[in-house]
Amino acid sequence: MDIIKIIGVGLISLIIIIIIRQYKPEFTLYVSLLAGGIILLFLMDKISGIVDILTSLSNKASIDSEFLTLLIKITGIAFLTEFAVSICKDTGETAIANKVDMGGKVIIVSMSIPIISSLLETVLQILP
């Protein structure tokens, strides 16, 4: 029932933001960041379980652990980038949100180069 906790934090944060926005709109960002942090703490057990499962599967499939580490880092960057973009959009800064989004995409592509090159090498070995 973790989803009920997450929805509860989200709704309570939303109500607090609506109330605070009337008096001190500059504090709404802090409430949003705090809610995101609390929700992330609720998800840490699930995230560690997913990493454990992926690690055991990669060990069984004899996949290089370097690739798994890269995939986990790329996924983390994607989540953090989306979180930052959402916060930027919530504060009305869509121009900054677009730049953060583009930066995250560039970093993800640059980090995925070893995986792409390994995949291409494998394909070239298969082809006659």
pLDDT one-digit tens code per residue, 63-92: 778 888 898 999 999 999 998 999 889 888
The whole-model pTM stands at 0.77
User: Can you list the residues of the chain whose pLDDT is less than 50?
Assistant: none
Q: Give the chain's end-to-end CA distance (angstroms, integer).
A: 53
Q: Which of 31, 39, 48 is nearest to 6 (CA)?
A: 39
Q: How far apart are CA 27 and CA 49, in angstroms?
A: 34
